[in-house]
């Protein structure tokens, strides 16, 4: 039977500094190229830590994909399938222009902060 000590270790705790990393432009271009190929969006908006320049090694890339008359869930599935093997974690949110107009001031949804801090990286 294993014994477990209740004594605390006397070793000092290691603190790790949070390293920031930037998104490789070539990788971002490849992500956008694949999204455009499958979705033909009106816009792609980069938001979150990648847009703020505060990405960490474990961060994902947050993208708002704007497409008129989109079947949101179905289109998101297609986009995710085309992003397999891109070498970067990507979070895609598909919205319509009507969604943006309706929810642009709603703080309960991600649309408002994405529009506020985001950068348009593709426009048709």
What are the pLDDT digits (tens) for 43-93?
999 999 999 999 988 889 999 999 999 999 999 999 999 999 998 999 999
Could you give the CA distance from residue 68 to residue 57 in angstroms, rounded to a whole number? 33
Could you give the CA distance from residue 123 to residue 121 in angstroms, rounded to a whole number? 7
pTM of the model: 0.79
Residue 115 has pLDDT above 60, yes or no: yes
Share of the chain above pLDDT 70, in %: 82
Q: Which residue has the tokens 């961060």?
A: 59
Residue 106 — very low, low, confident or very high, per pLDDT cuts 50/70/90? confident
DSSP 8-state symbol, 86: S
Paired tokens of 3: 């014994």
- Tell me if 7 sits within 8 A of 91, measured CB to CB: no
Which residues lie closer than 8 Å to 119 by C-beta, 6 or more apart? 45, 46, 47, 51
Which residues lie closer than 8 Å to 6 by C-beta, 6 or more apart? none
């Amino acid at each position: 039977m294993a014994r477990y000590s209740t004594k605390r270790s006397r070793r000092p705790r290691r603190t790790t500094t949070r390293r920031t990393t930037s998104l490789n432009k070539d990788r971002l271009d490849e992500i956008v190229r694949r999204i455009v190929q499958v979705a033909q969006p009106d816009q792609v908006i980069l938001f979150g830590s990648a847009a703020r320049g505060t990405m960490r090694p474990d961060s994902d890339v947050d993208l708002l994909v704007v497409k008129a008359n989109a079947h949101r869930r179905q289109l998101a599935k297609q986009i995710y399938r085309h992003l397999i093997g891109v070498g970067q974690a990507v979070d895609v949110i598909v919205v319509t222009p009507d969604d943006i107009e309706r929810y642009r001031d709603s703080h309960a949804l991600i649309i408002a902060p994405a529009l506020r801090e985001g950068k348009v990286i593709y426009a048709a």
